[in-house]
Structure 1
Amino acid sequence: MKIRNISNLDDVVKKINFVRAGGFPNYFGPQRFGIDNANIQNALKLNERRVSKNLKSIYLSAIRSYFFNEILSERIHRNIHRTELDGDFCLKAKDFEDNQFMLDYVQGTQDKSFFLTGSLLGDNRPEKINDIGLLENEIISKNRDLFNIIKCNRMQLSQRLLIIKPMNLSYYIDLDSICIKFDLPSGAYATSLMRELFKEI
């Protein structure tokens, strides 16, 4: 991937080195939500019209992705996205096909085989009176209509890594351009990586 006309190449290189060592926020990319968030808007109309099973799945997935992104964004805002909190759910390395894509370990635990995750909300979400439960409740309270759709469609709770580390991340500079190469696991978004590297540049 080649990006041209970069004025602050040194800043980009610093960010590449940071991401290489520590990973980047595992946001769902904008393509998940459609043009102008159309998938979210269509999800809100599911009770008003019939759609194909495939479209319904896309719209419902967009809602859960939206909540995940909002929760992750709030954790970043509070600088707690790399810190294990009361109520966090961590997955073991053996739960992944290729743990080399994962962060080395979760801060706050000595066990390097665990990785910090965030919730993909579901109808079976337990009511948690802890740090994570309170944070999730804050986000849900601002988007009650969307969460009601999750409940009505009996979507099941699952987990997604908060931080992902790209493999084989390399670059070379050509005048005012930079060419970046990397590998990502299934479900991670190159747009989210590029956003991390080039925001505020």
Structure 2
Amino acid sequence: MIKSPWDIDKELGLWWYSTETPGTGGKLRTVPEDFLVEEIGDHPDSSGPYLLCKLTKTNWDQHRAIKAIASGLGMSHQRIGFAGTKDKRAITTQYISLFKVTADDIEKLTIPDIALTPLGFTQHPIDLGDLKENRFSIRIRSIVDKTLYSGFNEFQNSLDEGIPNYVGYQRFGVTRPVTHLIGLEVLRGDFQEAVRVMVGKPGTHMGEHEREGRACYLESGDPAAALHLLPPRLSLERSVLHHLVEKPGDYLGAIQSLPRTLRSMYVSAVQSWFFNLTLSIRLEEGRSLTEPDTGDRLIWPDGRTDQITSSTLRAAKVQIKRGTCSISLLLPGGKLIPETGADDRIIEHILEENGIKTEMFDKMSSVLNTTFAGSFRSTVMKPQIDHHIEDEDLCVRFSLPPGHYATSVLREYMKADPLNMT
């Protein structure tokens, strides 16, 4: 293992690289065409009130794209369903469902760098997680040490042993890693501070107007003054400020005015951050991600989980070696998990350290109309990567299950500045 030298990795709980191969450096997403993502789903044609469409977008933030589509169709963004959040600086293809929209409505819609193809109707909306996998085709440019091309097979051998299944940068942000910080304030019930973090906290690589607008709100808390300064592209921040101009002091209402999937993302980012921290502490303590111990929890591909006891330890080792299941960690939520294993004690300590109790997740489930029951996530992933060299750039292709992050794979190979990976 190698400790990450990057401050943002320390902040987001991405403390370790499990591979010991030298990092190539390099840069992702020099142009959107360098990062292609294709969602693979199973959405059979039927009949019903939901129009199923294939959405291809180039260099669009997911939530802003959904809001733009909703605005163009004259409908609420709450009536658009999608299975997963896709990368911004990329060309991504995915499926969405639109309630009571026709193919003719889609034909009239024109949004730059967004293409919608009607596929038929379905009885139920697409919801988060309704996909089989994501396929990636990625080009890594400006590699620092090109002699490491020949070492890719060694790197693949390391992947075969398993690498940490960290929740990647996209869940938190890199230039402004605030999603989990907003979620912490939401869970604590401090909606005023949640808005303050969302709108005011600065980031890197900000333009003049963004920097001035965020600083204005951070210093004054004046939504009208900040609105005057923030650029139009920050539509989510501006919608929150518009709400506060119309209803001063209604910070909960401002949060509730955001798309349900975004509200959910703030709290799920906290769960993901706790997962990353727990995973990194487990590695720091020298405990294996593939060799189980009593108290560890197993997860199967169908989501079923079980906790290892002294009497099942031997069988668990056999099952993990066969690849039928893997060790998992908790993404804590409203369902209380008894403290029985070493990882459970770590999670309980992290929750306590951040002033979070399990009942807060239940409370926010009702306040935000989204369930935060908690779940388990595998500690490892073992992707198979195809690669070739093109014009001295490394081109890779691989597939990942839902909720797994391509950057968590590529950071192991590149070991580059996270700012070069977004």
Matches within 5 A, 1:180-191: 180-191=396-407
Structure having greater relative contact order (Cα 8 Å, sep ≥ 6): 1
Report the equivalent of 2:330. 119
Report the equivalent of 2:317. 109
2:291 is equivalent to residue 83 of structure 1: yes
Whole-Å separation in 2 of the counterparts to 1:125 and 1:172: 47
Whole-Å separation in 1 of the counterparts to 2:397 and 2:262: 33
Say if 1:72 and 1:118, in contact at 8 Å, map to a contact too. yes
- Amino acid paired to 1:43: G
Q: What's the secondary structure of 2:185's corresponding residue? A: coil
Whole-Å separation in 2 of the counterparts to 1:45 and 1:176: 46
Identity rate, percent: 26
Cα displacement (A) at 1:23 = 2.9
Q: What's the secondary structure of 2:263's corresponding residue? A: helix
- Amino acid paired to 1:182: F
Do the aligned partners of residues 15 and 149 (structure 1) sit closer, same or farther apart at CA in structure 2, a change above 3 Å counting?
farther
Do the aligned partners of residues 191 and 142 (structure 1) sit closer, same or farther apart at CA in structure 2, a change above 3 Å counting?
same
Q: What's the secondary structure of 1:72's corresponding residue? A: helix
Whole-Å separation in 1 of the counterparts to 2:298 and 2:340: 18
Do the aligned partners of residues 134 and 45 (structure 1) sit closer, same or farther apart at CA in structure 2, a change above 3 Å counting?
closer
Whole-Å separation in 1 of the counterparts to 2:339 and 2:354: 18
Q: Which runs of 5+ in 1 are unaligned?
A: 97-105
Do the aligned partners of residues 171 and 182 (structure 1) sit closer, same or farther apart at CA in structure 2, a change above 3 Å counting?
same
The TM-score, its normalising length taken from structure 1, stands at: 0.79
Cα displacement (A) at 1:62 = 0.6
Report the equivalent of 1:177. 393
Report the equivalent of 1:197. 413
Cα displacement (A) at 1:175 = 6.7
Do the aligned partners of residues 149 and 56 (structure 1) sit closer, same or farther apart at CA in structure 2, a change above 3 Å counting?
farther
Say if 1:83 and 1:107, in contact at 8 Å, map to a contact too. no
Matches within 5 A, 1:160-175: 160-167=377-384, 169-174=385-390
Q: What's the secondary structure of 2:407's corresponding residue? A: helix
Question: Cα deviation per residue 1:63-97 (whole Å; 9 max; x = unaligned)?
Answer: 1011111111112222322231332221234x26x
Do the aligned partners of residues 41 and 133 (structure 1) sit closer, same or farther apart at CA in structure 2, a change above 3 Å counting?
closer
Report the equivalent of 1:158. 375
- CA RMSD for the aligned pairs? 2.8
Cα displacement (A) at 1:110 = 1.4
Match 2:165 to one of 22, 26, 29 = 26
Report the equivalent of 1:101. none
Report the equivalent of 2:183. 43
Say if 2:296 and 2:328, in contact at 8 Å, map to a contact too. yes
* Structure with greater Cα Rg: 2
Q: Which runs of 5+ in 2 are unaligned?
A: 1-137, 192-250, 304-313, 366-371, 418-422
The TM-score, its normalising length taken from structure 2, stands at: 0.40
Whole-Å separation in 1 of the counterparts to 2:266 and 2:357: 11
- Amino acid paired to 1:178: L
Say if 1:44 and 1:149, in contact at 8 Å, map to a contact too. no
Report the equivalent of 2:277. 70
- Amino acid paired to 1:82: T
Whole-Å separation in 2 of the counterparts to 1:146 and 1:56: 19
Do the aligned partners of residues 124 and 145 (structure 1) sit closer, same or farther apart at CA in structure 2, a change above 3 Å counting?
closer
- Amino acid paired to 1:41: L
Do the aligned partners of residues 71 and 27 (structure 1) sit closer, same or farther apart at CA in structure 2, a change above 3 Å counting?
same
Do the aligned partners of residues 159 and 91 (structure 1) sit closer, same or farther apart at CA in structure 2, a change above 3 Å counting?
same
Report the equivalent of 1:3. 140
- Amino acid paired to 2:295: G
